[in-house]
């Protein structure tokens, strides 16, 4: 089983990103669950979504404390949310950042892989709004390969249309990946 924690802010589609991963897993015959955790629902407030993916039925219906992967959908979250807390051994960090080389933000020796891209600029360019969720899913999938690509693209199309499948593919193609080991 893989545990994923998504960090976003209200309006970025963080919860939907988690749900789409579960849809992709289930449509490939696997299992998953996605539990959103928000305070008071409003745009701009921090949102966390907890996702579990696995080959068998998943019983736990609670929050994720030791994620195998953390997705950070907005650069501001690096300072406003505990995005690196509790990372599991050999974990992945998927980061939306304008930085050319952000590898120095990773201090935790548990991190195996950092994947990053400027998802906000791509989103503004392609979608006209800084909604980064589908682009970040592209980056996530390229780095981890944890769900079936075609299944995820089909779900993205169903949720948000063809334009977002393009955005997903740009995330997939443009993400930079650094392996710490």
Partner 1 sequence: MSKVQVMNGNMAAAIGAAMCRPDIIAAYPITPQTPIVEYLADFVIDGKLDASVSEVESELSAMSVVTGASLAGSRVFTASASQGLSLMYEPYFRASTLRLPVVMAVANREMISPQTLWGGPQDTLSVRDAGWLQIYCEDNQEILDTMIMAFRLAEDKNVLLPINVCFDGFYLSHMAERVEIPEQEDVDAFVPKYVPEHIKLDPKKPMAVDPLTNGYLLAEYRLKHMMAQQNALKLIDEIDEEYEKKFGRSYGGAIEEYKCEDADYIIVTMGSMTGVAKDRVDAARAAGKKVGLVKVRIVRPFPGDKIANALKNCKAFGVVDRNVSFGWNTGIIYEEVCAAMFRNNLLIPNVPFIAGLGGEDVTGEHFDYAIDTVIAQEGNADKHYTVWLNREDKGI
Q: Which residues bind partner 1 (CB under 8 A)?
A: 18-19, 22-23, 26, 31-37, 40, 58-63, 65
- Give the E-state strand segments of the chain in sequence order: 2-9, 31-38, 46-54, 69-72, 91-96, 111-117, 176-179
Task: Report DSSP state, residue 82.
Answer: -
Nearest-approach distance from CB 80 to partner 1, in angstroms? 17
Q: In the complex with partner 1, which residue's Cβ is closer, 26 or 124?
A: 26
Q: In the complex with partner 1, which residue's Cβ is closer, 87 or 122?
A: 87
Q: In the complex with partner 1, which residue's Cβ is closer, 59 or 181?
A: 59
Pairing between β-strand 2-9 and β-strand 46-54 as defined by DSSP bridges: antiparallel
Nearest-approach distance from CB 152 to partner 1, in angstroms? 13
Least Cα distance to 130 among 121, 140, 139 occurs for 121
Nearest-approach distance from CB 59 to partner 1, in angstroms? 3
Other CB atoms within a 10 A radius of the CB of residue 59 amount to 7
Nearest-approach distance from CB 64 to partner 1, in angstroms? 10
């Amino acid at each position: 089983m893989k545990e994923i924690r998504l960090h976003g802010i209200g309006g970025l589609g963080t919860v939907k990103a988690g749900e789409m991963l579960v849809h992709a897993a289930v449509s490939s015959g696997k299992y998953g669950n996605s539990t959103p955790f928000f305070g008071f629902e409003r745009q701009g407030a921090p949102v966390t979504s907890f996702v579990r993916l696995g080959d068998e039925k998943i019983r736990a219906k609670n929050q994720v404390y030791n994620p195998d992967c953390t997705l950070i959908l907005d650069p501001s979250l690096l300072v406003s949310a505990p995005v690196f807390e509790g990372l599991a051994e050999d974990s992945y960090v998927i980061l939306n950042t304008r930085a050319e080389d952000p590898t120095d933000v990773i201090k935790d020796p548990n991190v195996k892989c950092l994947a990053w891209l400027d998802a906000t600029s791509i989103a503004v360019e392609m979608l006209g709004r800084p909604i980064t969720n589908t682009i970040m899913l592209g980056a996530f999938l390229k780095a981890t390969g944890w769900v079936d690509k075609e299944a995820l693209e089909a779900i993205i199309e169903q949720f948000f249309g063809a334009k977002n499948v393009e955005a997903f593919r740009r995330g997939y193609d443009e993400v930079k990946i650094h392996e710490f080991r």
